[in-house]
Amino acid sequence: MDRDLLTHLPVIVAVARRGGFALAAAELGMSPSAVSHAVRLVEERIGQPLFARTTRSVSLTEAGKALVETAAPALQDIAERMDRIRGVKGRPSGLLRINASNVAIPLAVTPVVAAMAERYPDVTVEVFAEQGLVDIVGEGFDAGIRLGEMIAQDMITVRLTAPFKAVIVASPGYIGKHGRPRDVADLAKHNCIGYRLVRSGGLYRWDLNDNGKDVAVETRGTAVVTDSLAAIDLALAGVGLAYVFEPLVRADLAAGRLVQVLPKTAIEEPGLFLYFPRRASMAPKLRAFIDTAHEIGRASMRTPGRVA
């Protein structure tokens, strides 16, 4: 067995996952030249290139794809087993990689990561915020966080938040100048802050309840964002109407900085869920995240007005 080859396999997998030498180097805490050297050594030992390199991109060759498809699951399994061994001694440790939607960060990630920093100092939580769904297994994540309706059925799911509503809000200043919309059709007369879908490039249609019927409404306005927090900031500045999840604006509504319009049109979302493949369910670092999230969730339910 070629020991040098084995020690460099994590580098190969990281370059494949990150799609570049510099990004892999940053993840591994190595210099780009050291990553390049490791890749070159493995290629020399195997006798064929693993990556096709251009000035703008790095992609796997057929041989590289075959190696990564074999090595990545094996390395992941080793890492999980090592984490379990450490966990037997009551010390969850290692890197926990989570892919979460942008809206999940303030609602379900930030409070958990803050608490874990105190309780589990040997666990590093890396959060990758992304709007669309990804293959968390194929891209090397331990878990993902999305709305319940978006999760594949073959995943184990853990509820992180209670169901919540998607609401339309505006500042008192905007309402004072432009009035309130009277119904769904009246939204066409208002400046609505739009959402750009990063992966498809399209504009998100607002999901609303129009007299008992679910409708997807096209909106128009002078501002388009890709993040709910940016929409909230613009609404607070009086730019227009924003379509957001209610927990994100709960404090602003209570303080009168924002007001809800067309409350009867609000639909209820199933809430946010952590999801992961079955084989990862016993990893101590993931179990530590789940336990912390559940404790924070119970505490928030005992504290009226707090964002879940």
At residue 263, what is the residue type?
A: P
- Which of 15-24, 196-205, 275-284, 290-299 is the least confident region? 275-284
What is the reported pLDDT for 4? Answer: 64
Instruction: Taking the CA atoms of 73, 76, 82 and 87 in sequence, report the sign of the dihedral they define.
Output: negative
pLDDT of residue 304: 39
pLDDT > 90 fraction of the chain, expressed in percent and rounded: 49
Residue 156 has pLDDT above 80, yes or no: yes
Arithmetic mean of pLDDT, 269-296: 86
For position 181, what pLDDT does the model report?
96
Q: 300 pLDDT band (50/70/90 cuts)?
A: low
pLDDT confidence of residue 305: 39
Contact 168, 183 (CB under 8 A): no
pLDDT score of 89: 56
- The predicted-structure confidence for 49-95, as pLDDT tens digits, reads as follows 998 887 777 889 988 888 888 888 787 777 767 666 655 555 788 89
Whole-Å CA distances, 60 to 6, 7, 14, 35, 141: 19, 19, 12, 15, 20
Task: Name the residue with higher pLDDT: 35 or 282.
Answer: 35
Q: How does residue 2 score in pLDDT terms, banded at 50, 70 and 90?
A: low
With 90 as the cut, is the pLDDT of residue 259 above it?
yes
Query: For all residues of the chain together, what is the average pLDDT?
Result: 87
Bridge-based pairing state of the strands 123-129 and 94-100: parallel
Per-range mean pLDDT, top range of 179-183, 291-295, 301-305: 179-183
CA separation (Å) from 117 to 108, 132, 160, 271? 15, 27, 18, 25
Stretch 107-123: mean pLDDT, rounded? Answer: 93
Structure-block tokens of residue 81: 């087993």
- Least Cα distance to 273 among 150, 125, 165 occurs for 150
pLDDT score for 189: 96
Tell me the pTM. Answer: 0.70
